[in-house]
């Protein structure tokens, strides 16, 4: 275990070197001061020792009572005899003293000196009261100039500490002050063994052979110790590092909180986006369902329309009116368009087409008269008018115009013949003539319409119908 030296000049290490083999040792500290700072006895207290601490200064005494509950802490001083003397207290330092001259010097140096009465007891009396039996392993005396009076009040014949160390210089100086009190020790069977520049160490002659070997060298690295000041610096460094770590941890926590807040915000945005997407999907599904419904309805209507068209195309009225539609197409093309198409076939085709115009009129009129004589012709006309009103109106106008023209021709022929009954020249409707007429219409008729015209002509021939 590494030792920690709390003493000013590592006196505790030198004492421990000699006394570490002692268990539950005992010490007397005259002028104990602070229980830790510059304390010679703290190392031993931490290793299970105990002892007597004399400290007249109130603040130090209170600290001792708090930090050393197993010690005997006395707010008195040691002297030649029992008395009450003026104590010159210098707070915040270890310079308090009973010596008026020393106190005056400290006051001249700027220290604040407070005087108060303190009781004194001889060291022999203190030992008889608090350590009547048992060894005293070391006695330490540091009373800022009053060391001679403390030693003079001891009874070294009855109470013999193994080791005695005494501050041997004047306060805050290297001037030696031991010459006046050393004879007290040497005359009582003690031998000087070590001076560390501040304290002189003495061994009881009966312990010199056993302990003298430990006082040949100063405290060194082989004693395996560390200074409390170094530990304090490391502790301060560790505290500073801990403070920095706490600040970094706090900053990390703040960053984590900020990141958590950003995460919550992102989650809220994602939830809002999810809700928006869900609504969009629902609206899209609804629109698609509506579009599907409309598509199905359109298909149904289209199917119904196709069915109606198929029914119309398969009806007798549609087949019968095929020649009429062909005539309308011929007329809608116009004469010049027909002539241009005929011209592409040659002059003879033009002449044949011009001679066939009258034939077309008569075929149209004949077909219309035949259609009107059929049962249900009126319903057929209304159907054609509902499906194709403009072509139906055109056919009606053509029919009336051709009827009027036929009537005028009959009237004109009658006038020229002296009032004879009008007789319309019979139209050559022989099969060869009709085939020739249909061939002339091929330029404007589709194959279906030509087929319907042929069926119409064949039906007329079978029924023996005449114009």
CATH of the domain at 16: 3.40.50.150
435 or 312: which leads in pLDDT: 312
Question: Could you list the residue range(s) of the whole structural domain that residue 16 is in?
Answer: 3-223
Q: Select from 196, 201, 213, 191 the least CA-distant residue to 18.
A: 213
Categorise residue 50: left if φ over 0, alpha if ψ from -120 to 50, beta otherwise. beta
φ and ψ at residue 79, rounded to 5 degrees: -150, -165
In a domain, 236, yes or no: no
**What's the pTM?**
0.53
DSSP state of 146: -
466 pLDDT exceeds 60? no
Q: Tell me the C-alpha distance between 150 and 77, whole Å.
A: 9
pLDDT at residue 140 in the model: 97
Section 373-382 average pLDDT = 68
What number is the average pLDDT over the span 186-191?
96
Confidence grade of residue 201 (pLDDT, cut at 50, 70, 90) = very high
Asked if residue 165 is part of any domain, the answer here is: yes
In this prediction, residue 113 carries a pLDDT of 84
What number of other Cβ atoms are within 10 A of residue 317's Cβ?
17
Q: Which of 258-267, 283-292, 355-364, 398-407 has the lowest mean pLDDT?
A: 355-364
Total count of domains within the chain: 1
Residue 87 has a pLDDT of: 81
- The pLDDT of 192-202, averaged and rounded, is 96
The more confident residue out of 442 and 115 is 115
Confirm whether 142 is domain-assigned.
yes
Task: Convert the pLDDT of each residue in 274-326 to its tens digit.
Answer: 888 889 889 988 988 998 899 888 888 888 888 887 887 777 666 666 655 65
Average pLDDT, the chain: 81
Sequence-ordered list of residues with C-beta below 8 angstroms from that of 403, at least 6 positions apart, any chain = 365
The answer, yes or no, to whether residue 387 has pLDDT greater than 80, is no
> What is the predicted pLDDT for the residue at 443?
53
Pair 95, 144: CB distance under 8 Å: yes
Residue 401 lies in a domain: no
**pLDDT tier, 424 (very low <50, low <70, confident <90, very high otherwise):** very low
Task: Please give the Cα distance from 118 to 83 (Å, whole number).
Answer: 8
SS3 53: strand
Determine the average pLDDT of the residues in 372-388. Answer: 70
Domain assignment of residue 97, yes or no: yes
Least confident stretch, 69-83, 196-210, 349-363? 349-363
Q: In angstroms, rounded to a whole number, what is the distance separating the alpha carbons of residues 461 and 459?
A: 5
Query: 132: helix, coil or strand?
Result: coil
The predicted structure's pLDDT at residue 237: 73
Q: Residue 132's pLDDT is what?
A: 93
Q: Of the ranges 31-40, 175-184, 400-409, 428-437, which one carries the lowest mean pLDDT score?
A: 428-437
Query: Which of 67, 113, 66 lies closest to 88 in space, CA to CA?
Result: 113
The pLDDT of residue 396:
79
Cα–Cα dist 18/386, whole Å:
136
Q: How far is CA 119 from the centre of its chain?
A: 72
Confidence of residue 356 (pLDDT cuts 50, 70, 90): low
For 38, the token pair is 């510059």
Q: Encode pLDDT of 233-254 as tens digits.
A: 766 777 777 888 888 888 889 8
Q: Is residue 452 part of a domain?
A: no
Domain membership of residue 375 (yes or no) is no
- What does the pLDDT average to over 51-73? 95
Which is nearest to 51 in space by CA: 79, 85, 22?
22
Q: Is the dihedral of CA 21, 22, 23, 26 positive or negative?
A: negative
Q: What integer is the mean pLDDT of 207-234? A: 89
Q: What is the pLDDT of residue 230?
A: 79
Beta strands at 3-5 and 225-227: parallel, antiparallel or unpaired: parallel
Site of tokens 């690295």: 221
Query: Per residue in 149-174, pLDDT tens?
Result: 999 999 999 999 999 999 999 877 88
Q: At what angle do helices 431-441 and 347-373 cross, to 10 degrees?
A: 110
Q: How far apart are CA 38 and CA 35, in angstroms?
A: 8
Is 332 contained in some domain?
A: no
pLDDT of residue 173: 83
Structural contact between residues 120 and 77, judged by C-beta atoms closer than 8 angstroms: yes
Nearest to 52 by CA among 37, 36, 30: 30
E strand spans, 123-195: 138-141, 163-167, 190-195
What does the CA dihedral 103, 179, 142, 14 come to, rounded to 10 degrees? Answer: 150
Tell me: pLDDT of 179 over 50. Answer: yes
């Amino acid at each position: 275990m590494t030792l920690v030296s709390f003493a000013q000049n590592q006196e505790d290490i030198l004492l421990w070197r000699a006394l570490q083999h002692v268990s539950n040792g005992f010490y007397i500290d005259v002028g104990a001061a602070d229980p830790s700072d510059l304390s010679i006895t703290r190392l031993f207290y931490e290793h299970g020792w105990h002892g007597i601490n004399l400290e007249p200064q109130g603040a130090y005494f209170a600290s001792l009572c708090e930090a050393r509950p197993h010690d005997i802490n006395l707010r008195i001083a040691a002297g030649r005899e029992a008395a009450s003397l003026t104590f010159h207290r210098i707070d915040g330092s270890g310079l308090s003293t009973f010596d008026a001259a020393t106190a005056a010097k400290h006051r001249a140096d700027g220290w604040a000196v407070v005087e108060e009465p303190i009781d004194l007891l001889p060291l022999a009396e203190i030992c008889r009261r608090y350590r009547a039996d048992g060894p005293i392993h070391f006695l330490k005396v540091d009373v800022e100039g009053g060391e001679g009076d403390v030693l003079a009040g001891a009874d070294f014949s009855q109470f013999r500490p193994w080791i005695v160390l005494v501050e041997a210089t004047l306060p805050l100086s290297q001037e030696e002050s031991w010459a006046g009190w050393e004879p007290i020790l040497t005359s009582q069977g003690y031998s000087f063994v070590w001076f560390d520049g501040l304290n002189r160490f003495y061994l009881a002659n009966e312990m010199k052979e056993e302990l003298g070997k430990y006082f040949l060298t100063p405290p060194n690295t082989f004693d395996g110790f560390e200074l409390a000041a170094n530990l304090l610096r490391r502790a301060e460094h560790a505290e500073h590092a801990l403070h920095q770590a706490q600040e970094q941890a706090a900053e990390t926590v703040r960053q984590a909180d900020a990141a958590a807040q950003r995460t919550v915000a992102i989650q809220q945005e994602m939830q809002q986006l999810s809700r928006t997407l869900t609504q969009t999907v629902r609206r899209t599904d609804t629109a698609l369902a509506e579009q599907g419904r409309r598509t199905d309805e359109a298909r149904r209507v289209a199917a119904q329309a196709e069915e109606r068209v198929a029914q119309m195309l398969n009806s007798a009225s549609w087949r019968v009116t095929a020649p009429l539609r062909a005539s309308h197409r011929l007329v809608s093309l116009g004469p010049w368009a027909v002539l241009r198409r005929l011209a592409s076939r040659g002059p003879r085709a033009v002449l044949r087409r011009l001679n066939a115009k009258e034939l077309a009129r008569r075929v149209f009129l004949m077909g219309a008269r035949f259609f009107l004589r059929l049962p249900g012709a009126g319903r057929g006309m209304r159907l054609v008018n509902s499906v194709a009103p403009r072509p139906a109106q055109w056919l009606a106008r053509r029919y009336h115009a051709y009827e009027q023209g036929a009537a005028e021709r009959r009237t004109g022929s009658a006038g020229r013949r002296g009032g004879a009954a009008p007789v319309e020249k019979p139209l050559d409707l022989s099969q060869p003539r009709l085939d020739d007429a249909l061939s002339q219409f091929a330029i404007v008729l589709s194959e279906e319409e030509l087929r319907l015209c042929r069926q119409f002509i064949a039906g007329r021939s079978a029924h023996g119908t005449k114009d």
